[in-house]
Structure 1
Amino acid sequence: MKSTIKQFAIAACMASAIATSAAAETAQQQFQRASDDYLDKVYFPYQPTGGTLSGYHQYDTQLEDFSPKTIAAEVAALKSFEARIAAIPAAGLDQVSRGDRELVLGTIRSELLTLETIRPLEKNPDTYSSSISGSIFSLMERKFASPDERLRSVIAREKLALGRLDEAHTNLKNPPRIYTEIAIEQLPGIVSFFQDDVPQAFADAKDAALKAEFAKSNGAVIAALNSYQNWLKTDVLPHSQGDFRIGADTFQKKLAYDEMVDIPLDKLLEIGWADLKKNQQHFNTLAKELEPNKDPREVLEELGSNHPVPGKLLDAFRATFDSLIGFIRTNHIVTIPSDIRPIVEETPPFMRATTFASMDTPGPFEAHATEAYFNVTLPDPGMTPTQVESFMHAFNIGTVISTAVHEAYPGHYIQFLWVPQAPSRVRKLLGASSNAEGWAHYCEQMMLDQGYGQPGTGAKDEREAKFLRLGQLQDALLRNARFIVGIQMHTGKMSFDEAVEFFQKEGYQSKESALVETKRGTCDATYLYYTLGKLEILKLREDMKKKQGSAFSLEEFHNNFLRQGFPPIKIVREAMLGDGSPVL
């Protein structure tokens, strides 16, 4: 009994000491510890593929777990950390940590909204198959370890993958038909990825026993994916009658949590329509200057037909780099921290249904394999010649330049090169699409406004210069259409077919592009963040000009913007302007 009393006394003393230590911690120290704990105990353990992509290779043998038990545990952990971080007083933090606190809270609340309200695990069959292929691709794309070591991780994840597909049978409940169709459309590419690409990626592995084990695990995944595809076609698709729309309330919350934007949806629609009409007018005026006797739609068709042949598309993108880099440096647009260029390659199979181009950069803590990949989607071999021609209109001479600016110079790739200078671990790992995509989209217009694309700098003559501007405006109209379609579709004011028509009529897109964009919008509800972020950056730039007057420097503005990481623009405004003035 005396021993027990003594143990209680010791425990009480320890608890008192811990409490005293916690009380002695400053708010700054509390937040630092809480944010690190959140990243290390919740954020990455529940999304280990994200850990691999970020450069934390202790997660390489783990795989996302979609079982109800695990999801319930994640929700409980998120709520615990939300309460812990919210209890830390913002007034006791420095400027960076105040922004980081809001960023972490927004990330937690967005994930809770996804798991508890949007519930994609019950609605989206593609979540399961594409997450598996994505997890394996994260071990293939960069050689951060030997082929044998990475192959061991592939085997570990492939063994877990079979259970994840089983979880789909348990979790899926009346998915929207379009979601099931997208999953079925993606699956042949995913199967071929495991049949061809994965074995080829590890052909240099030396351990014969390991390769034999891989042959078994890979064969099992291929069989499971084929079975999953058959199940989706025969059992799930006929009963897929769910609704993909998230509704106005959830849409507004998602904007607040992800982008720190609380502007009412009707006001956002006014902003989106105003920018769309402005860009349409600019496009139509230029089209009349080029072809006075033609309708702007005919000029758009002429622009679209001026594209590389599919087999030369990757080379066309590579060819833009010299002139873009030279212009940026000569005109002091932004500092380029590295001379290493991204690698242009074809988009991985499991991403091709919903994207034309993307930038895939290494994680901020990747120490060994730092290649960046500029992915471009080529026409599907099964397309008819007419479909190929329509598809290639998205890669005309104007949009090739616009896309290269967006994805590489000075868009996503340059922003990635600045990430090491972000002021905290949180800023290196967490961010907002309105910043990242907003920056890239802003760059498309900014570069032409600064003189790129004029004769001698990206264009051979004045006529081609105008076509380049038309390409930039066509891409701007695409993002304008996303802005309006996302809100309208998910609030029940626009059907899928009406959205396809809207992309064609108001967004000046081809039918093939319009279909891809509408599919994406069904599951990426807030993809208005391109135009939203661009407009926020333009306003921030004008506000900085007013504040600094003749001392304003575009290069300094861009550098200071990028060194903040990629948090919501509201946080960047507070850092650069020193106030909480409106983002729009």
Structure 2
Amino acid sequence: VGTLKDEQLRVAFHEANRKATNALNDYAAWLEREKLPKASMDFALGEEKFRRFLEQTELVDLPPQKILDIGMAQLKAEQEAFAEAAKKIDPNKSPIEVFKQIQTEHPAPQNLIPDVAKDLDKIRKYVSTRRLVSIPSDVRAKVKETPQYLRATSFASMDTPGPFEKRANEAYYYVTPTENDWPEKQKEEWLTAFNYYTSDVVSIHEAYPGHYVQFLCLNASPANKVEKIFGSYAFVEGWAHYCEKMMVDEGYGSSTNSTPSEDDVKRAAKYRMAQADEALLRLCRLCVSIKIHTQKMSLDEATKFFRDNCYYEEKPARLEAMRGTFDPGYLNYTLGKLEILKLRDDYKAQQGDDFSLQKFHNELLNHGMPPIRLLREIMLKDQSKWDQVL
């Protein structure tokens, strides 16, 4: 704020900031006065509330156990894909050892932002040339360092303007860099998450063809004001997470040669491991959300589940388990992805030879951000299939 030259803007900011601060302080006081005396450590919703939560937010009316069974089966399949890819890279090491080796392949701190920006252009070009989805604008997202105030909670994120913004219409893809005063070991640990393969998968999720393309399509769509404001958690995050798998399935990171070299095979396997690693985390979230809210799973058991099934260390596993206590909806990354894959299969069967990924994706993104159950009514002619979300 101190660098603002516009005095009127500075005054307006301070006034808005004062009101926001007072409102938050009032809310904190209300929580302490009204809620804290009645609070308990019991965070679980219970099966009935959990099912109602999914039905009323995502129009998914299924027994939690059925969703859990699907999630556990998918978790096993993704673990097998992770291990199979690791064998192609080094059959003499465990999958975790192979992945840790992959994580050492990352840019130097000063090259992080330029490398992400360069690779983002490459990813965008791949989406366009392969005709995976129509990108309705040539305006690019700007890759920038995450603002200081967001760095404690953000690794990478997409910041797009609201659907009705007329002035500040820039979109930023924020990437959190290392801090200059960090020890070298801490910098190295942070940069492992930005290994070249995971970094591309995250860019696919956040920008092309993930959240940024989602935003561009929303703005270009005939959706009404209500449809542009309100969005389904499962649709928004499910689309971005679906894109990670879809892009790797469509050959991103693989060689176009009919007889790929050994290095080509290993490179493709590294991308598959990076994609599977992201999927394993989201699958664990789905399973843990259901288990802690409907099956009395404890926080310690949830932590162990993340450690055993997506191979996290104790601290990040604990943080993921704790998030599930207050964000049961974090199962929606996987739930939405699975719903989109099911809708794609059903739409492909319906369209036959007229099916293409581009047509499917364009239609999917042309109706705002509704629960995917509603998209089934829009895209599928057979009414008997509308409720078959998974």
TM-score, reference length from structure 1: 0.60
The equivalent residue for 2:350 is 547
The equivalent residue for 1:247 is 46
Larger radius of gyration: 1
Q: Unaligned stretches of 5+ in structure 2? A: none
Which one of the candidate residues 252, 264, 275 is aligned to 1:461? 264
One-letter amino acid of the counterpart of residue 170, structure 1:
W
Give runs of aligned pairs for residues 424-463 of structure 1, distance below 5 A.
424-455=224-255, 461-463=264-266
The equivalent residue for 1:300 is 99
What SS does the corresponding residue of 2:106 show, helix, strand or coil?
coil
On the 8 A contact 2:234/2:336 being kept in 1, the answer is yes
State the distance in 2 between where 1:551 and 1:326 align.
24
Q: Per-residue displacement from partner, 1:279-304 (whole Å, max 9, x unpaired)?
A: 00111111112211111121122122
On the 8 A contact 1:390/1:511 being kept in 2, the answer is no
The equivalent residue for 1:563 is 366
The equivalent residue for 2:310 is 507
Which one of the candidate residues 28, 46, 55 is aligned to 1:168? 28
On the 8 A contact 1:307/1:395 being kept in 2, the answer is yes
Q: Give 1 or 2: higher helix fraction.
A: 1
State the distance in 2 between where 1:387 and 1:499 align.
27
What SS does the corresponding residue of 2:330 show, helix, strand or coil?
coil
Q: Per-residue displacement from partner, 1:249-288 (whole Å, max 9, x unpaired)?
A: 3322221222111111111111111111000011111111
Q: Per-residue displacement from partner, 1:339-367 (whole Å, max 9, x unpaired)?
A: 11112223344544444222111000001
The equivalent residue for 1:77 is none
The equivalent residue for 2:126 is 327
Change (3 A) 1:389 1:263: farther
Give runs of aligned pairs for residues 142-181 of structure 1, distance below 5 A.
147-164=6-23, 165-172=25-32
Matched, 1:498 2:358: no
The equivalent residue for 2:389 is 583
TM superposition shift of 1:498: 3.2
- Percent identity at matched positions? 43
State the distance in 1 between where 2:202 and 2:139 align.
19
Matched, 1:341 2:117: no
One-letter amino acid of the counterpart of residue 317, structure 1:
V
On the 8 A contact 1:394/1:513 being kept in 2, the answer is no
CA RMSD after TM alignment: 2.9
Q: Unaligned stretches of 5+ in structure 1? A: 1-135, 177-235
The equivalent residue for 1:111 is none
The equivalent residue for 1:282 is 81
Give runs of aligned pairs for residues 86-165 of structure 1, distance below 5 A.
147-164=6-23, 165=25
State the distance in 1 between where 2:109 and 2:322 align.
23
State the distance in 2 between where 1:386 and 1:470 align.
24
On the 8 A contact 2:113/2:144 being kept in 1, the answer is yes
Q: Which moved more, 1:157-166 or 1:417-426?
A: 157-166
Give runs of aligned pairs for residues 405-416 of structure 1, distance below 5 A.
405-416=204-215
What SS does the corresponding residue of 2:193 show, helix, strand or coil?
helix
State the distance in 1 between where 2:131 and 2:137 align.
15
One-letter amino acid of the counterpart of residue 297, structure 2:
M
What SS does the corresponding residue of 1:321 show, helix, strand or coil?
helix
What SS does the corresponding residue of 2:367 show, helix, strand or coil?
coil
Change (3 A) 1:157 1:256: same
TM superposition shift of 1:174: 9.3
Which gives a bigger RCO, structure 1 or 2 (Cα 8 Å, sep 6+)?
2
Give runs of aligned pairs for residues 466-481 of structure 1, distance below 5 A.
466-481=269-284
Change (3 A) 1:255 1:426: same
One-letter amino acid of the counterpart of residue 486, structure 1:
S
What SS does the corresponding residue of 2:131 show, helix, strand or coil?
coil
On the 8 A contact 1:430/1:566 being kept in 2, the answer is yes
Count of matched residue positions in the alignment of Structure 1 and Structure 2: 380
State the distance in 2 between where 1:518 and 1:152 align.
42
What SS does the corresponding residue of 1:488 show, helix, strand or coil?
helix
State the distance in 1 between where 2:185 and 2:307 align.
17
Which one of the candidate residues 176, 196, 217 is aligned to 1:397? 196
State the distance in 2 between where 1:530 and 1:456 align.
30
On the 8 A contact 1:251/1:526 being kept in 2, the answer is no
Q: Per-residue displacement from partner, 1:360-410 (whole Å, max 9, x unpaired)?
A: 110000011111111223456776655544443332222111100000000
TM-score, reference length from structure 2: 0.88
TM superposition shift of 1:482: 1.2
State the distance in 2 between where 1:447 and 1:149 align.
47
One-letter amino acid of the counterpart of residue 241, structure 2:
H
Change (3 A) 1:161 1:581: closer
TM superposition shift of 1:533: 0.7
